[in-house]
Structure 1
Amino acid sequence: MLDRTTRIAVAGAGSIGCHAGGCLALAGRRVTLLARQPLAEAIGRDGLTIVDLDGSERKLAPSAIDAAVDPAVAFNDAGLVLVTVKSGDTAEMAGLIARHARPDATVVSLQNGAANAARLRQHLPATQRVVAGMVSFNVIQDRSADGAPVFRRTTGGEVLVEAGVPGLVELLNVDGLPVESAADMTAVLWGKLILNLTNAINALSGLPLVEYLSDRRWRLVLAAQIEEALAAMRAAGINPAKVGALRPAFLPYLLRLPDFLFRIIARRMLTVDPKAKPSTLQDLERGRKTETDEFQGAIVRLSEQVGTAAPLSRLVLRRIRAAEQAGKGSPRLAPDDFKLPAS
């Protein structure tokens, strides 16, 4: 059984992984981050800083958290492994966990998309229990004036994990990392996927998140994209859960409101750090492959299975792939660039 003495390994020390690991270490949990060499060295030298949405900062000393580049070291004696890598790296990370983690380790997917827990189960032995999870908030990585790593939470939200794992919520639910259990994680993951459809559109605009959401022209593009996704899900018998305050079916109506009404009704949605960027935009800026295939790509594949139309999903996916190939960051498209030809 998991308890507060369980050693925790974070498999993929990016923004979410370091924020989660940092919060857990600040609460006295025993944490090791599997990180790339430069980040591991920086944490080992300077520690790291966690910044919450309200701007409060908490500094973690180097002695309070371990960072390793060798998976054999990172996973050694870990009873819990939190997987926070990009979806495209899931299979490779599963291979490392299978080789180096304890055979009875619990493995929690805190990744985007609806398919990563299933991918982990395909590659891990049956003795390692895989648990689906979901992070509903955004984190960006920064550096302090002295070069120490800073992980800044830029939106509200919580972590949900699959119910039925004794001790898991109690181990993970700490200050700065609110964790609850959910009975139907499949519905939760599809609900989060709907929210993640905004990432690619926002990234292609190149605008800060608040500026993007405050412009009805962009919200109309997002509303049409969400309706496409909801139609495919209905045909497939998928009932996406509410993630946050609103049910998915209500989102297109909210997004289509005039700007002044939207600002009033969606005040909480717009309460985000001015520096907030979707992970897709961060990936484009760094010349990395995005996870859009897990969002728009998943809708395209689902629509093909059930026979619904998904032209906007296909268009967004094409534009993201073109931006990835160009390697110049956001193409800074306009809302009119997403108009579909009349049928």
Structure 2
Amino acid sequence: MKIAVLGAGAIGCYLGAVLSKHHEVTLIGRERLINAFNRAGHMALSDYQERDCQYSNLTVTDSTDALASADLILLTVKCLAVHEAAQQLQAFAAKTTPVISLQNGIGSDDMLRQLRNPVIRGIVGFNVAPMDNCRFHRGTEGDVYCEALIDSTIAMQLDSAFHDMGFRLHTTSGFEALQWAKLQLNLNNAINAVSNLPLKQELETRGYRTILSLAMSELIEVTKQEQLKLPKLTKLPARWIPVLLKAPDSWFKKLASSMLAIDPQARSSMWEDLNNQRTTEIDYINGAVVRAAHALGLQAPANLTLVELIKDIEEGRRTPGIPSEEVLEDIKKRR
């Protein structure tokens, strides 16, 4: 199977490299990726379970030519780049080629409705960080999920390749609820960026967990009003996670061992964006909760505070490393 990965960042490179063991893969990315791949002569993948693999049997390019001959396209751009990617797909991809769209957040996939192609929405349930020497490191557990619209043969081929690296592909007919369940976990991206701490250290700090608990509780109230039953993406049901997060540090470390099964240096993609002075996806993550809450006549002070703090950092009015007590005080003022 010929697979083109459009927007090959950390997630796209990780998935594309895994798939290249069994399929003909072309990664369409930026010049810095091409240069890094050419210098290293391969793409290296590692993870929190100490896997370490190298892949050289793949093409890395900035040309969209591979879209025309692809049997499957993975769209792994950030939310802010979906509109431009949709134009590229419309111009260069065969109209019968299925596109699996893998973005964080809610709202960006509206731009894909103009496409003639079959579009299958999906999410990636783990964190991947770019490292030196064309290495991509998966720092957390999780699987890949997509709509049940995917062809069953393609789904089996993807799942088989993913299984080699310790994760799976799951399909669902209830994607909207799944998307909100993933969004619940992604709400921590902003807190991690604001804290300027590694994920593990941030989650071991009760103050930051309290902020996350408040943000998640607002999302759960929105989904309750929308009558969405959130599926389990972790060992705990979605509604119990905010309760666990408020536990004292000693209890949390005992009760949430799987949540803390994170590489000690792993950070969120939003931290990566701020660290590289890129615009973040905050409007599609915490901002999506704020918009949905307001549409229902609800308030979302925790998520609104995080949106405004991230925008302040983006625009240079604040710097990362904001104490949890200060964030909690800002949330309190908005209630």
Give the distance between the partners of 1:198 and 1:280, measured in 2 at CA: 9
Q: Find 1:198's aligned residue among 188, 199, 203.
A: 188
Quote the residue 2:62 is aligned against: 69
**Does structure 2 retain, via aligned residues, the 8 Å contact 1:284–1:327?**
no
Deviation at 1:327, TM superposition (A): 8.4
2:50 aligned with 1:31: no
Give the distance between the partners of 1:65 and 1:255, measured in 2 at CA: 42
TM-score (norm 2): 0.93
Q: Deviations over 1:228-287 (max 9, x none)?
A: 111122222333222122221111111011111111110011011112000010100000
2:94 aligned with 1:102: yes
**Does structure 2 retain, via aligned residues, the 8 Å contact 1:109–1:116?**
no
Q: Deviations over 1:166-217 (max 9, x none)?
A: 2231121212252121221111110000111111011101011111101111
**Does structure 1 retain, via aligned residues, the 8 Å contact 2:120–2:149?**
no
The one-letter code matched in structure 1 to 2:62 is V
Quote the residue 2:81 is aligned against: 89
Q: Find 2:36's aligned residue among 30, 35, 42.
A: 42
Other structure's SS at 2:187 match: helix
Quote the residue 2:131 is aligned against: 142
Give the distance between the partners of 1:115 and 1:341, measured in 2 at CA: 28
Deviation at 1:74, TM superposition (A): 2.9
TM-score (norm 1): 0.91
Give the distance between the partners of 1:165 and 1:219, measured in 2 at CA: 36
Quote the residue 2:119 is aligned against: 130
Give the distance between the partners of 1:341 and 1:132, measured in 2 at CA: 38
Give the distance between the partners of 2:2 and 2:247, measured in 1 at CA: 48
Q: Deviations over 1:128-176 (max 9, x none)?
A: 1000111000001111xxxx30011100110011114222311212122
Q: Deviations over 1:70-115 (max 9, x none)?
A: 11x2313012110111001101101101111111010011110133
2:268 aligned with 1:283: no
More divergent stretch after superposition (134-143 vs 34-43): 34-43
More divergent stretch after superposition (107-116 vs 253-262): 107-116
2:112 aligned with 1:120: yes
Question: Aligned pairs, how many?
Answer: 326
Other structure's SS at 1:169 match: helix
Structure 1 residues not aligned, in runs of 5+: 1-5
**Does structure 2 retain, via aligned residues, the 8 Å contact 1:287–1:324?**
yes
Q: Find 1:241's aligned residue among 218, 231, 237.
A: 231
Quote the residue 1:3 is aligned against: none
**1:279/1:202 CA distance change after superposition, 3 Å:** same
Deviation at 1:59, TM superposition (A): 0.9
Q: Find 1:210's aligned residue among 200, 203, 223.
A: 200
Give the distance between the partners of 1:24 and 1:52, measured in 2 at CA: 16
**Does structure 2 retain, via aligned residues, the 8 Å contact 1:241–1:248?**
yes
Deviation at 1:342, TM superposition (A): 7.6
Quote the residue 1:162 is aligned against: 147
**1:17/1:211 CA distance change after superposition, 3 Å:** same
Deviation at 1:36, TM superposition (A): 0.7
Quote the residue 1:333 is aligned against: 322
CA RMSD of aligned residues (A): 1.5
Give the distance between the partners of 1:158 and 1:35, measured in 2 at CA: 23
Quote the residue 1:295 is aligned against: 285
Give the distance between the partners of 1:304 and 1:258, measured in 2 at CA: 32
